[in-house]
Chains A and B, each alone.
Chain A
């Protein structure tokens, strides 16, 4: 969020006279100028973020800004608060102009001697604000985007594909809920192998409990492949495994780091045919969020909501399938219910419930919530060892 004097470089009408006028009404900063440079590198411009007086290289700056402090002390609420602020890239200067009534400001401007110029300045600022939100689209444009970009990726598991009418949809956040050892990780690994192999897309797997197993992925790939020549097999296997990137994350701040890095990579990446990331898995998001929920204060819920928004933004803007897993907790009357509480319920697009028959390899999946399907529809599928 740039102080007004930085906007003067790009828009000379916002001169010192305008800045003084705004300062008398408590407005010290304005919206971002449209250039991307200052949006990413804002810590350089604001004095409160020089770290040890050293200027870091621009690429590192983004990661440094997100992981500002040592991540070990999560219980300290003050540090949590500071980390939260760093995450949201909020500096001491805020978006004052957005919180003020611009009509009142125009009325004040009329009383000044340089009223015309001040009013032009306000109009200029309004047009910058207009560039700050997402563009308005009409129904046809949305539909075209959905039909062209938001395809359906099959998971490799027929039961789930049939239930979801094709598979997981791009641009949507899908959640798998289930008790422990109900097959959530198995489904994630199966989806990973299928996307990497059949759809030839990149997969980013964020693993919170060391449950990612490359051997299992290879088993899944080998299961569905045709009995091909052995020479080509090894090369193909290597190519497929190269598309899968696995990160171990053990707390929510590391997850934010990884996701921001992914966002930067995706934005700057050219359209490479083979390695475009198509699937993002967070297994499991409940183990990242549950430790920070509760204990009074709203930081935990705020971080959970931010994580949800970031995942949905990544899904929509870069056409990814985002798959997260969640565990269950006991509810009223002994019936288990999904963890993460009421606020999380309205974040994923699709929620599926998995369960496992003891001792067999048959899994049940049912629809908990879906944007265009009635909940309660169920299916069964088998995962072979």
Chain B
């Protein structure tokens, strides 16, 4: 209000061209293109939900995304094409295996460095490039590997209250980690947002005392989760990916397998009460459904 525009012409004058703006936005907020999500370029501020039955590759996709995110764009002349950012992983399922992440990261690092060595040094090309590479320059790989592993931040929660406590203090934690590493957080991963669904559902309490008191039930916990994530996205713009395992799958599995090709409403025995025909039964409260910007269903035919 204190600034007075000198002249209308100045106000209309452009600040930057579209090209410079795109360049700025793409470096500050890079796109993440990953199969099988590459058809939908995911940007910061999106909340993505990956839904699938139990043995589908949801956690695998998260691990792949994490590896792509922590790798730098270029290191010692080798192009990795990573996003060079931090990743935060909240494990609600308590089933995360760090060895898988480690193997995938090593594989990616060695794969890329093998490729570049092939291009540079064709006369000294050996068939056993894998072994040779690790023997030739172990320190080179190790340094990058440990740098990337340190960029992966992990926590596990054993109940809803621990999850809420984590979300409430996440703001300060992100600030601290960003100061420590010097780079920002790009992805927040939540493995199995529906992990505490049954426990929360069963623990509905009768309200006591004052009527303005919130009792922990499925609804209030979900509302608080969505609220906290929204506030977090305002302060630290990042991509949120949450996985969700389907339940109630068995009763409808034959129907869903037949209907997967055609999701039309003509099916008489519809499972979902909403107008949108989904191949699985929705169990999270609608506040969470509305909070997500993208839903992606993974269906693996066994």
Give A residues with C-beta under 8 Å from B.
Answer: 23, 25-28, 31, 81, 84-85, 88, 90, 92, 94-96, 98-103, 126, 129-130, 132-140, 142-143, 146, 297-299, 301-306, 309, 312-313, 316, 331-332, 341-343, 345-346, 349, 369, 371-372, 375
Which residue on chain B has the smallest CB distance to residue A310?
B158
Q: Given the complex of chains A and B, what is the CA–CA distance between A25 and B247 in angstroms?
A: 37
Q: Given the complex of chains A and B, what is the CA–CA distance between A331 and B251 in angstroms?
A: 10
Chain B residues lying within 8 Å of A88, measured Cβ to Cβ, are 159, 199, 203
**Do A90 and B203 touch (CB < 8 A)?**
yes
Q: Does B32 contact A (CB under 8 A)?
A: no
Interface residue ranges of B187-211 to A (CB < 8 Å): 192, 195-196, 198-199, 201-203, 205, 208-210
Q: Given the complex of chains A and B, what is the CA–CA distance between A126 and B213 in angstroms?
A: 19
Which residue on chain B has the smallest CB distance to residue A1?
B161
Chain A residues lying within 8 Å of B214, measured Cβ to Cβ, are 26, 96, 99-100
Q: Given the complex of chains A and B, what is the CA–CA distance between A342 and B53 in angstroms?
A: 8
Give B residues with C-beta under 8 Å from A.
Answer: 53-55, 93-95, 97-103, 146, 148-159, 161-166, 168-169, 172-173, 192, 195-196, 198-199, 201-203, 205, 208-210, 212-216, 220-221, 224, 227, 231, 245-250, 253-254
* A372 and B153 contact, Cβ closer than 8 Å, known pairs A28-B213, A90-B203, A313-B158: no
Chain B residues lying within 8 Å of A136, measured Cβ to Cβ, are 153-155, 173
Which residue on chain A has the smallest CB distance to residue B196?
A305
Residue with the greatest number of chain B CB neighbours at <10 A, chosen from A26, A139, A345, A369: A139
* A98 and B161 contact, Cβ closer than 8 Å, known pairs A346-B245, A369-B55: yes
Give 7 nearest A-B pairs by CB, closest first. Answer: A139-B149, A302-B202, A345-B54, A139-B152, A26-B212, A26-B213, A301-B198
Chain B residues lying within 8 Å of A132, measured Cβ to Cβ, are 161-162, 165
Which residue on chain A has the smallest CB distance to residue B164?
A98
**Do A99 and B150 touch (CB < 8 A)?**
no
Chain B residues lying within 8 Å of A102, measured Cβ to Cβ, are 168
Q: Given the complex of chains A and B, what is the CA–CA distance between A313 and B157 in angstroms?
A: 10
Chain A residues lying within 8 Å of B165, measured Cβ to Cβ, are 31, 98, 129-130, 132-133
10 A/B residue pairs, CB under 8 Å, sorted by A? A84-B202, A84-B203, A99-B164, A101-B227, A138-B151, A138-B152, A139-B153, A316-B156, A349-B97, A369-B54
**Do B172 and A138 touch (CB < 8 A)?**
no
Which residue on chain A has the smallest CB distance to residue B163?
A133
**Do A137 and B153 touch (CB < 8 A)?**
yes
Chain B residues lying within 8 Å of A140, measured Cβ to Cβ, are 146, 149-150
Q: Given the complex of chains A and B, what is the CA–CA distance between A95 and B159 in angstroms?
A: 13
Chain A residues lying within 8 Å of B102, measured Cβ to Cβ, are 139, 143
**Do A316 and B94 touch (CB < 8 A)?**
yes
Chain B residues lying within 8 Å of A126, measured Cβ to Cβ, are 168-169, 172
Q: Given the complex of chains A and B, what is the CA–CA distance between A297 and B198 in angstroms?
A: 10
Q: Given the complex of chains A and B, what is the CA–CA distance between A194 and B215 in angstroms?
A: 49
* A372 and B103 contact, Cβ closer than 8 Å, known pairs A102-B168, A133-B166, A140-B146: yes
| Pick from B97, B157, B231: contact of A372, CB under 8 Å | B97
Least Cβ–Cβ distance between B141 and chain A, in angstroms: 15
| Pick from A130, A133, A306, A345: contact of B157, CB under 8 Å | A133
| Pick from A27, A95, A143, A297: contact of B98, CB under 8 Å | A143
Least Cβ–Cβ distance between B203 and chain A, in angstroms: 7
**Do A372 and B99 touch (CB < 8 A)?**
yes
**Do A142 and B98 touch (CB < 8 A)?**
yes
Chain A residues lying within 8 Å of B247, measured Cβ to Cβ, are 341-343
Which residue on chain A has the smallest CB distance to residue B59?
A371
* A345 and B245 contact, Cβ closer than 8 Å, known pairs A138-B154, A372-B103: yes
Least Cβ–Cβ distance between A337 and chain B, in angstroms: 8
* A139 and B148 contact, Cβ closer than 8 Å, known pairs A98-B164, A133-B165: yes
Q: Given the complex of chains A and B, what is the CA–CA distance between A84 and B203 in angstroms?
A: 8
| Pick from A302, A303, A342, A349: contact of B248, CB under 8 Å | A342
Q: Given the complex of chains A and B, what is the CA–CA distance between A309 and B197 in angstroms?
A: 13
Q: Given the complex of chains A and B, what is the CA–CA distance between A150 and B184 in angstroms?
A: 32
Which residue on chain A has the smallest CB distance to residue B176?
A136
**Do B205 and A94 touch (CB < 8 A)?**
yes
**Do A94 and B215 touch (CB < 8 A)?**
yes
**Do B54 and A342 touch (CB < 8 A)?**
yes
**Do A371 and B95 touch (CB < 8 A)?**
yes
Least Cβ–Cβ distance between A26 and chain B, in angstroms: 4
Chain A residues lying within 8 Å of B210, measured Cβ to Cβ, are 23, 26, 28
Q: Given the complex of chains A and B, what is the CA–CA distance between A103 and B234 in angstroms?
A: 13
Least Cβ–Cβ distance between B21 and chain A, in angstroms: 31
**Do A98 and B203 touch (CB < 8 A)?**
no
Q: Given the complex of chains A and B, what is the CA–CA distance between A346 and B202 in angstroms?
A: 19
**Do B155 and A96 touch (CB < 8 A)?**
no
Chain A residues lying within 8 Å of B100, measured Cβ to Cβ, are 371-372
Chain A residues lying within 8 Å of B93, measured Cβ to Cβ, are 346
Q: Given the complex of chains A and B, what is the CA–CA distance between A132 and B172 in angstroms?
A: 15
**Do A129 and B213 touch (CB < 8 A)?**
no
Least Cβ–Cβ distance between A366 and chain B, in angstroms: 13
Chain B residues lying within 8 Å of A133, measured Cβ to Cβ, are 155, 157, 162-163, 165-166, 169
**Do A299 and B150 touch (CB < 8 A)?**
no
**Do B155 and A312 touch (CB < 8 A)?**
no
| Pick from A130, A298, A316, A332: contact of B254, CB under 8 Å | A332
Q: Given the complex of chains A and B, what is the CA–CA distance between A346 and B96 in angstroms?
A: 12
* A313 and B94 contact, Cβ closer than 8 Å, known pairs A94-B215, A126-B169, A299-B202: yes
Which residue on chain A has the smallest CB distance to residue B162?
A133
Residue with the greatest number of chain B CB neighbours at <10 A, chosen from A23, A126, A135, A136: A136
